Structure 1
Amino acid sequence: MIDEHARIVLTESLPASDLQAGDVGTVVHVHDDGAAYEVEFFSLDGRTYAVETVEATAVRPVASTDVTHARSRE
């Protein structure tokens, strides 16, 4: 299970929210012992651009080998 306030990486895109696999967010709530997570996604300047509930299968914890990458949202 991923803990609240942990950073996660999406493993599946969420097109309706303009989120792509690889986007990084922060868990703000854990649902049903880790079955799903409420995740907040931020721009690099700290503005929230989405808060989504995602299934546990659609996220993974951030790894020490991950590298931050920027993309623009239009």
Structure 2
Amino acid sequence: MFVLHQTVALTHDIPDAGLQLGDLGAVVAIHDPENFEVEFVTASGRTQSLLMLSSSSLRAIGDQDLIAVRSLATAKH
């Protein structure tokens, strides 16, 4: 479903990781067809989270998506 280095978006919030629906990540490892390691980085390039996620937690991005920036300082943990 997803390929290595593909940019993906979250389909739900993951509060423990400080991540929200729509946050962008990159697939950095494929463990099997349904489980992926995804890295989420800040705008400056610092890793925010590195998580193993199922395909149901991710969606492909495309021309219908708009990239936005939000502050982690205001994120609820």
Same fold, TM-score > 0.5, yes or no: yes
Q: Offset at 1:63?
A: 1.1
Q: Please tell me the root mean square deviation across aligned C-alpha atoms, in Å.
A: 0.9
**Equivalent residue runs for 1:1-74 within 5 Å:** 1-33=1-33, 35-74=34-73
* Runs (4+) off by over 4 Å: none
TM-score if structure 1 supplies the norm length? 0.92
Q: Offset at 1:72?
A: 0.7
Match of 2:54, as an amino acid? Answer: E
- How many Å separate the matches in 2 of 1:62 and 1:71? 18
TM-score if structure 2 supplies the norm length? 0.89
Q: Which runs of 5+ in 1 are unaligned?
A: none
Q: Offset at 1:47?
A: 1.3
The percent of aligned pairs where both chains have the same amino acid is 34
Aligned residues: 73
